[in-house]
Structure formats: C-alpha cells, structure tokens
C-alpha cells in the first residue's frame, strides 16, 4: 500500500522509501500482537529481515511476495535475524530451503539458533554497514530484550528497523528467564534516542513516524514502573513476586499478570544490580536505602 499508513496486519511501503517494505505474517507471538513484520530491504538485491512465521500458509504468502518482487527486478540475497526469538525466526529454515539464502545474525544470536539447526554464515557486529538502503544500513548491537539483538538505521533518511526494541501498540516484555536485562534495555533505548529523529519500523505493528516520541514514552513508562515496584516493596515491607505483583501492576488486567510477572522480575533484577533491592533464599525481595 504505497503512501498510506495501514493497519498492523497490512503491508506497508512509503513513496519516499520504496526500498523499505513491511510485510506482516501471522505468528505465535505475545498479545496484543498477532503478527510479526518481515522486512524486505533494498533495490535490486534484497535483504530479508526476520522471516517470522512457522505456518506454511504464511510462508507461502512470503514466497509469493518475493516472487512478485523478483519479477520487478529485486531478488533476495540473504536473510538477517534481529534476534533469536521464535516469533522472528519461525520461517527461516523454510525460506532457506526454498531459495538457498545465507543467514546473517549477531554472534550471540548465531549461538542460540545453532541449537535449532540454523547455521549463520555471516556475523553482523556493531558498526557494520549493509548496502540495502540509499545511505547504507548501520548495524547497532542493542541487547536487553535479547543478547544478540540488532537494529538497522539508514542515517541518511532516519528510517530504522528496530526489531523488538519497541512496538506500535503495547510494550515489549523483558524476560530475565530468557536472558532479558532491563538495565541494558533502557541503556539501548537511550542509544537509539541519541540518533535523533527516527522513523521506527518495529517487529510488531505499523511504522512510527515520531520515533523519538515513542522512545521517550518507553523510557518514561519503564521509569514510572520501576518507581511503582519500589513503592510496592516499601509499602509491603518486602515480599515475593505473588505479593508484589498486584500492587506494582494494579493497572494491568489480571489476565496479563503472567506477562507482567516477567517484567516485574526484570525490574527487581535491575534494582538488585544497582544495589537498591535484595532478595533472600526464599525469594523475598526488600528495598535498600531511603524511601
């Protein structure tokens, strides 16, 4: 849909950036998302970012779209993974089997997908430049959500493919049980913000023109939640996850408390790393320092 702002589940291409194509596929992702975006980047030679879906019907849709692009003179030459989560890599093996494309990723992602039978042929590191946009795509290593997470920024236009750093609706889960690190995640949001005005292209949802505003919102939201976690610790005089959750996430539907518990543990781990909270062998957390 050229020149429009479609819904999250609809493809998106902007007239001013024809090299950047968002193609959502249905995936087993976390709510409120139902789709993960595949990005087809470039003119002539294409980079396929996050062939996400494990579902054969969705994989077929992607292959049909790639065939359409090939007829227009744009052929895929490689696959890049922003990170290793299953709602991003679910169609990788199928796409490689169909088109024989090499796989690129950060080294820490390569380690994790190797166990799933995926072999990375090129490691992408901080500062690498990939020739799939008018200004070239700058690779940023942005851990926190996942250890090997990558973002790609076209510094000429300000368009940035940001994976799971943000989403158009809802927020991103930082799960310490899956190597998530809240402190590192917040630092990387700050790094993205330093790149100035950005048009963000997330893994879930439509693109966001006011990228700076969304990044600022994410930092404010996480900072406010951290303050609420500390308030809950002090109000209760300490406690375990089950006791803290209803206070620290009283604005979240009980149906989502399973996801909220992951974020709560991530906030507590950050506070512990900063010397502002401690936990005993029974799992009881306490705040440290003045209120």
pLDDT value of position 30:
86
Residue with tokens 């500062």: 127
- Cα–Cα distance, 257 to 286 (Å, whole number): 21
pLDDT value of position 289:
84
Who has greater pLDDT, 1 or 181? Answer: 181
Rounded to the nearest integer, the mean pLDDT of the chain is 95
pLDDT value of position 4:
43
Sorted by where each starts, the structural domains of the chain and their CATH numbers stand as 12-209 (3.60.15.10), 221-287 (1.10.10.10)
Both tokens of residue 240? 């375990």
- Cα–Cα distance, 176 to 246 (Å, whole number): 20
| Whole-number percent of the chain with pLDDT over 90 | 92
- β 35-41/122-123 pair status: unpaired
Phi-psi region of 205 (alpha: psi -120 to 50; beta: other; left: phi over 0): left
Does the model's pTM come out above 0.75? Answer: yes
Burial of 162 (0-12, 13-18, 19+ CB in 10 A): buried
3: pLDDT strictly greater than 60: no
């Amino acid at each position: 849909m050229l020149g429009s702002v479609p819904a999250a589940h609809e493809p998106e291409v902007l007239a001013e950036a024809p090299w950047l194509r968002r193609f959502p596929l249905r995936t087993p992702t976390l709510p409120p998302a139902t789709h993960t975006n595949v990005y087809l980047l470039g003119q002539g030679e294409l980079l396929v970012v996050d062939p996400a879906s494990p579902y054969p019907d969705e994989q077929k849709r992607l292959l049909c779209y790639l065939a359409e692009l090939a007829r227009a003179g744009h052929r895929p030459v490689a696959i890049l993974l922003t990170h290793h989560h299953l709602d991003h890599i679910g169609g990788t093996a199928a796409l490689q089997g169909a088109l024989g494309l090499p796989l690129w990723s950060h080294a820490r992602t390569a380690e994790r997908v190797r166990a799933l039978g995926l072999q990375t042929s090129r490691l992408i590191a901080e500062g690498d430049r990939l020739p799939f946009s008018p200004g070239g795509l700058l690779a940023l290593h942005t851990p926190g959500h996942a250890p090997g997470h990558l973002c790609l920024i076209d510094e000429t236009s300000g368009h940035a493919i940001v994976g799971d750093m943000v989403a158009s609706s809802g927020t991103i889960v930082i799960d310490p049980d899956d190597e998530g690190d809240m402190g590192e995640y917040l630092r990387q949001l700050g790094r993205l913000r330093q790149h100035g005005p950005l048009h963000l292209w997330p893994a879930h949802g439509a693109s966001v023109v006011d990228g700076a505003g969304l990044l600022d919102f994410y930092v404010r939201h996480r900072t406010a939640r951290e303050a609420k976690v500390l308030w809950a610790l002090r109000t209760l005089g300490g406690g375990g996850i089950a006791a803290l959750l209803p206070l620290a996430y009283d604005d979240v539907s009980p149906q989502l408390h399973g996801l909220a518990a992951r974020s709560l543990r991530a906030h507590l781990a950050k506070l512990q790393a900063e010397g502002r909270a401690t936990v005993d062998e029974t799992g009881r957390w306490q705040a440290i320092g003045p209120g």
